[in-house]
Amino acid sequence: ISFNCVDSSLSSLKNCQSYINTGMDIATHVALDLVESFNDVEDVNSMENVMLEYAAMDRELNHYMRAIEETVNQIKREKPENIPDLKYLVKEKFTALESKNSDSDLQRNEKYVYFKDQLKQMRKQFCHQSDNDNEAIEQIDEDIAVTQSQMNFICPITQMEMKRPVRNKVCGHTYEEDAILKIIQTRKQQKKKVRCPKIGCSHADVKGSDLVPDEALKRAIDSQNKQ
């Protein structure tokens, strides 16, 4: 049995998945724009709903691709004399996978997790205490917050303000992207693990795959520099 058609279909589905990923990236950027512009409730919630819809599409697509791959592997393994009904077998496996769906699946989607995390970081960076009646206390709190934020702008490796901050998903610390990747590459050649460069951090195995762009922090740095 030739599976060329099946391979071609799988390739097309993977292209669809890349479109979903792009859509999720755009929705994340729009939500961060909204927080930065202080339109921080209804509009951001609508972006979160968009992210969940994308996550549902991504899950369905993953299940369909998995059903196809499992069917192909089964046929290759069993080598039946007559060509089986591929469509029926795929549908059967797909339905079985879909029957196990739950809302928590969507909450665990990697892009959705990143979206929620960046929103949280963005609100930390751009929160304004305008409702505080005591202006003097507000000013002191704001000064402390600005000083703390500016400290967070400094890369623990270069000791300079970050231009392309990335955050470690494991320990939560941020570094300049080029600086941390250079250390990871050097240690890899030496066959050594990389300890988190942040003083006091016990995380002793920093991997490139654990690093994600910290868009919220980058926006906060850019905003501070504009001021």
Residues 169 and 97 in one domain: no
Residues 38 and 111 in one domain: yes
Handedness of CA 177, 178, 181, 183 (dihedral sign): negative
Paired tokens of 43:
């509009």
pLDDT one-digit tens code per residue, 199-212: 999 999 999 999 99
Residue 130: closest CA among 31, 34, 38, 43: 38
Q: Could you tell me which residues are beta bridge partners of residue 165?
A: 176
User: How much is the pLDDT for 134?
Assistant: 45
Rounded average pLDDT over 138-159: 64
pLDDT one-digit tens code per residue, 116-131: 999 988 888 776 433 4
User: How much is the pLDDT for 127?
Assistant: 65
- Is there a domain that residue 115 lies in? yes
pTM of the model: 0.76
- Is there a domain that residue 135 lies in? no
- Compute CA distances 190 → 109, 113, 187, 196, 213, whole Å: 34, 33, 5, 17, 26
User: How much is the pLDDT for 218?
Assistant: 93
Number of domains forming the structure of the chain:
2
Is residue 21 very low, low, confident or very high in pLDDT (cuts 50, 70, 90)? very high
Tell me, what CATH number does 205's domain have?
3.30.40.10
Is residue 5 very low, low, confident or very high in pLDDT (cuts 50, 70, 90)? confident
Domain extent at residue 185: 165-225
User: How much is the pLDDT for 41?
Assistant: 79
- Is there a domain that residue 201 lies in? yes
* pLDDT of 143 above 60: no
User: How much is the pLDDT for 101?
Assistant: 95
Residues 169 and 121 in one domain: no
- Is there a domain that residue 136 lies in? no
